[in-house]
Amino acid sequence: MNTNAQAVAWPAAGNKFYRYSQLMLLVLAAGSIYPVLYLRQVYQSSMLEALAIDNEQLGYLYSILGAAFMLSYLPSGWLADRLPPRWLISVSLLGTGALALWYATLPNFHVLLGIFCGFGVTTGLTFWAALLKRVKMLASKQEQGRFFGVLDGGRGLVEALLATVAISLFAYLTQQRGDSLAEGFQRVIHLYAYTCLAIGVALALLRDPQQRSEAPQASRSKGKLLEDIKLLAKLPELWLITAIVFCGYHFFWATYSFSAYLEEGGLGLSATMAGVITTIKLWMRPVGGIGGGWLGDKFTNLRVLTWALALAGIGMLGLIFLPQLHVVSVVVVLVVFIGLMTYAIRGLYWAILDQCPIPERIMGLAIGIISVVGYSPDVLLPLVNGWFTQTFAGMLGYQLYFAYVLVMGSLGVVAALALGKRIAKRKAA
């Protein structure tokens, strides 16, 4: 029997328990590796104080992280087509954990630039495409929305659990024991670093009972890289999906500023209270991701994704205009609601990849191409955010930044509608 055919057909017909247990391991890995990179979404003010940097320098750190992502995504797809995902994911966790321990020493700005660049490699080059390709291969055609929804929602649950432990630790150290904000922030980094190291070691020691039947197909393929790239570049659906990811990712990036936004102007919440609210927002990730995936399989992934983009835009509009009314409770509800919609978007925009006729042997490469463009806001938005908040002090800077995000996110709705029309036209033909 042809082993290649086995590898392609297995996900739909294979053991359900095995597929879901493998998905849970991927959820655990994905939920543990990214939070330490984005501590700013809960601890931005404390982070600035601990590292002795300003908003503009913070923007440079996340811009260099985004640049490292940009350079990593395409080769990440190439690697995912050739090396075992379990090995790549384990190396990524161990590397991220080691860098986080260095980060916890609270080094100077120039060293931080190197650490954030390293984070881009360990979570981009060796991790991202391997993770997504593995999930897509585990799911049958009828389960794409569910599996990607569980991936994003489940990793959100892991992130929320870790964030709850972290903010409790931070509050205890800074409010009850009397430690400084810098010392509390340092202990939070340690928590995430040791978690990554522990899971990385566990994955390295595990053995995959079906590893032989799931060996990457591209290593046996005779396709050439440039020819494969040309083949993918001719698919209009791939570029529309790229546009959706690009625009939808703007909404997600805006959530990183919610903690600092809640501490500004007439809202004036404390650092701990803002952290608690943004941690509650993190708990929306399993609801949005899993719920969005379930609705996507029921009503089509693209339709639910389009609505989630539109509703996130409406919520962002509220964050721009409501602070003048000093209705803190409504703003807090909107922060949580936008988080819910954003996580539904993230749970669905990779599920619609199934609408694009891509050969399985180069699926990793397609993910890499989409990621290069779709996640390019990682480079741009830290600079935009840093410029707005540094140039326009207080609430105004965040309002202008959210207005920019709203415009870009609205273009995602247009791209989603265009993709829907193209799919309908193809089915009719």
20: how many CB neighbours lie within 10 A of its CB?
Answer: 12
**5 in any annotated domain:** no
Q: Reduce the DSSP state of residue 429 to 3 states and report it.
A: coil
pLDDT of residue 48 exceeding 60: yes
The two three-digit tokens of residue 226, written as one number: 């440039």
**385 in any annotated domain:** yes
The two three-digit tokens of residue 183, written as one number: 């010392």
pLDDT of 345: 92
Q: Reduce the DSSP state of residue 335 to 3 states and report it.
A: helix
Task: Kindly report, residue by residue over 335-379, the tens digit of the pLDDT.
Answer: 999 999 998 998 788 888 877 777 777 877 888 888 888 988 877
pLDDT of residue 1 exceeding 50: no
| Rounded mean pLDDT, 143-162 | 82
| Rounded mean pLDDT, 123-127 | 90
The two three-digit tokens of residue 213, written as one number: 């039947």
Percent of the chain's residues with pLDDT above 70: 92
pLDDT of 230: 86
| Rounded mean pLDDT, 136-148 | 78
Indicate the residue type of 137. M
Q: Which residue carries 């290593």 as its tokens?
A: 219
| Position 265 confidence tier, pLDDT thresholds 50, 70, 90 | low
pLDDT of 256: 83
**372 in any annotated domain:** yes
The Cα–Cα gap between 201 and 93 comes to 8
**Segment among 35-39, 255-259, 354-358, 424-428 with least mean pLDDT:** 354-358
CA-nearest of 30, 297, 49, 312 to 159 is 30
**4 in any annotated domain:** no
pLDDT of 144: 74
pLDDT of 411: 96
pLDDT of residue 212 exceeding 50: no
**3 in any annotated domain:** no
pLDDT of residue 5 exceeding 50: no
pLDDT of 371: 85
| Position 8 confidence tier, pLDDT thresholds 50, 70, 90 | very low
161 within 8 A of 151, measured Cβ to Cβ: no
258 within 8 A of 282, measured Cβ to Cβ: no
The DSSP letter of residue 106 is -
| Position 207 confidence tier, pLDDT thresholds 50, 70, 90 | low
pLDDT of 51: 93
The Cα–Cα gap between 336 and 358 comes to 36
pLDDT of 111: 96
146 within 8 A of 139, measured Cβ to Cβ: yes
pLDDT of 192: 95
Give 182's Cβ-side CA count (13 Å radius): 9
CA 306 remoteness from chain centre: 19
The Cα–Cα gap between 147 and 378 comes to 25
CATH code, 200: 1.20.1250.20
| Position 272 confidence tier, pLDDT thresholds 50, 70, 90 | confident
| Position 11 confidence tier, pLDDT thresholds 50, 70, 90 | very low
- If you count them, how many residues does the chain have? 429
pLDDT of 218: 44
CA-nearest of 229, 182, 274 to 78 is 229
CA-nearest of 291, 309, 279 to 146 is 291
Give 395's Cβ-side CA count (13 Å radius): 17
**6 in any annotated domain:** no
pLDDT of 54: 87
pLDDT of residue 151 exceeding 60: yes
**168 in any annotated domain:** yes
Task: Kindly report, residue by residue over 175-186, the tens digit of the pLDDT.
Answer: 888 888 889 999
152 within 8 A of 347, measured Cβ to Cβ: yes
**23 in any annotated domain:** yes
Q: State the average pLDDT for the chain.
A: 84
pLDDT of 7: 38
pLDDT of 220: 46
pLDDT of 379: 79
The DSSP letter of residue 257 is G
Domain range enclosing 418: 13-428
**Segment among 75-79, 126-130, 181-185, 356-360 with least mean pLDDT:** 356-360
Task: Kindly report, residue by residue over 383-416, the tens digit of the pLDDT.
Answer: 888 889 888 888 888 999 999 999 999 999 999 9
Number of domains in the chain: 1
pLDDT of 208: 54
CA atoms 286, 305, 407, 71: torsion sign? positive
